[in-house]
């Protein structure tokens, strides 16, 4: 099985469609899931919504019934897009992403971040290939954050982006160390200079171009960064399910734990920004 077969897309609903759906279905027949941070939820949320912040979803999805429709929302639709795909890939039968998030629910006009996830790499690849890909993705996202920091409109945002680049540099070192434990030397992990993927399977040039509107604010940057980190966590966990050798599985679980840490840190930053 290839990674393309492991990922499943989720359907989309806009604000009016979500309102109509909820009005036509009784309480307890569907799940309304808010994947924002607690302070965002406290400030305002859709009545009846259950809060599970995106950084916690992989650990807490067992709390959700998988046999009923699930509508997922966030602030503007980026985090919820990743969360909806995550649930759909894990057997949830009917999952919808509320495009435009709670702002669209309120009737505001908002553009959701553009998802640039790309399916790639056969899941049966060995530990060396997986480790090379992991390092390539981490170094790519680190470079992206550094480039954005150089173009940031204010010093605070530049500092935030530099901090995010530091997260990826640290994770890249972790990948190198984990690979070494599995018998793969650092020399074998040199990234392919022609490849253009960053963490989670994004094309960085298209990602920046299509999400230019999100890159001028702290909240927008965090929204995109959480999308990227959540995609990466999803990717590593799905690979771990698919590979057959124990060394590859151990490496992927370890990298997934690193992603959880990064995603939780971004969630904390979003909480303070909110």
Q: Name the residue among 36, 180, 159, 204 with its Cα closest to residue 105.
A: 36
Question: What six digits make up the tokens of 123?
Answer: 């899941």
Helix (H) or strand (E) holding 220: helix 218-242
pLDDT value, residue 122: 41
What are the φ/ψ torsions at residue 191 (nearest 5 degrees)? -70, 150
Query: Is 164 exposed, middle or buried, given 0-12, 13-18 or 19+ CB atoms closer than 10 A?
Result: buried
Cα–Cα distance for residue pair 60/164, rounded to 1 Å: 25
- List, by residue number, the catalytic residues: 74
Model confidence, pTM = 0.79
Question: What six digits make up the tokens of 260?
Answer: 């959880």
- The SS3 of residue 30 is coil
pLDDT value, residue 203: 65
Per-residue pLDDT of 3-40, as tens digits, reads 333 345 678 999 999 999 999 998 889 999 999 999 99
* Sheet with 11-13, side-by-side order of all strands: 11-13, 95-98, 70-73, 31-34, 50-51
Per-residue pLDDT of 242-266, as tens digits, reads 677 888 888 888 888 988 998 998 8
145 or 207, which is more confident: 145
Per-residue pLDDT of 118-147, as tens digits, reads 344 344 456 787 778 778 878 878 887 887
As a whole number, the mean pLDDT across the chain is 81
For the chain, list the domains and their CATH numbers.
Answer: 3-105 (3.40.250.10), 127-273 (1.20.1260.10)
Contacts of 22 (CB under 8 A, 6+ apart): 30, 32, 48, 71
Cα–Cα distance for residue pair 57/139, rounded to 1 Å: 25
């Amino acid at each position: 099985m290839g990674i393309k077969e492991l990922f499943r897309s989720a359907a989309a609903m806009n604000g009016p469609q979500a309102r109509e759906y909820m009005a036509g279905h009784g309480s307890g027949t569907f799940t309304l899931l808010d994947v924002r941070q607690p302070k965002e939820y406290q400030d305002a949320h859709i009545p009846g919504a259950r809060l599970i912040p995106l950084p916690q979803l992989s650990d807490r999805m067992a709390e959700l019934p998988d046999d009923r429709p699930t509508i997922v929302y966030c602030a503007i639709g980026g985090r919820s897009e990743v969360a909806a795909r995550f649930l759909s890939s894990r057997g949830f039968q009917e999952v919808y992403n509320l495009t435009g998030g709670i702002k669209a629910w309120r009737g505001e006009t908002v553009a959701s971040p553009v998802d640039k996830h790309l399916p790639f790499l056969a899941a049966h690849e060995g530990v060396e290939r997986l480790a090379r890909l992991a390092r390539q993705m981490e170094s790519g996202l680190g470079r992206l954050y550094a480039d954005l920091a150089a173009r940031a409109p204010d010093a605070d945002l530049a500092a935030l982006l530099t901090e995010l680049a530091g997260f990826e540099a640290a994770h890249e070192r972790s990948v190198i160390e984990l690979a070494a434990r599995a018998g793969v030397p650092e020399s074998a992990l040199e990234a392919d200079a022609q490849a253009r993927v960053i963490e989670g399977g994004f094309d960085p040039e298209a990602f920046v171009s299509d999400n230019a509107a999100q890159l001028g604010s702290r909240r927008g940057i965090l929204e995109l960064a959480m999308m990227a980190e959540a995609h990466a966590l999803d990717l590593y966990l799905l690979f771990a399910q698919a590979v057959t050798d124990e060394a590859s599985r151990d490496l992927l679980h370890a990298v997934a734990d690193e992603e959880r840490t990064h995603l939780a840190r971004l969630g904390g930053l979003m909480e303070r920004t909110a």
